[in-house]
């Protein structure tokens, strides 16, 4: 399962979700402005920018088409 930690009015978040959908990747979205535990989790992981994408094998922050395309092509 892929989890995308997002926030409102975030262009990179929107681009990430759009490309995941285009590639047929199922994902869950968590709004870090409404979920304090989720925000703490990603901050504890060392991430400081949204979106944060967590897969079974990887995690990254920001819009990263190369990584999204790799999980979409499995």
Does 29 have pLDDT greater than 60? yes
pTM for the full model?
Answer: 0.93
Does 11 have pLDDT greater than 70? yes
Q: Which domains are seen in the chain, by residue range? A: 2-72 (3.40.30.10)
The pLDDT tens digits for 58-73 are 999 999 999 999 987 6
User: What span, in angstroms and rounded, lies between the C-alpha atoms of 8 and 14?
Assistant: 9
User: What span, in angstroms and rounded, lies between the C-alpha atoms of 65 and 38?
Assistant: 23
Note whether 11 and 51 are within 8 A (CB): no
User: What span, in angstroms and rounded, lies between the C-alpha atoms of 15 and 65?
Assistant: 9
């Amino acid at each position: 399962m892929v989890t995308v930690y997002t926030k409102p009015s975030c262009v990179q978040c929107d681009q990430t979700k759009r490309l995941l959908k285009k590639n047929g990747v199922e994902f869950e979205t968590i709004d870090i402005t409404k979920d304090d535990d989720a925000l703490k989790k990603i901050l504890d992981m060392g991430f400081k920018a949204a979106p944060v994408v967590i897969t079974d094998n990887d995690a990254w922050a920001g819009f990263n088409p190369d990584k999204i395309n790799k999980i979409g092509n499995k």
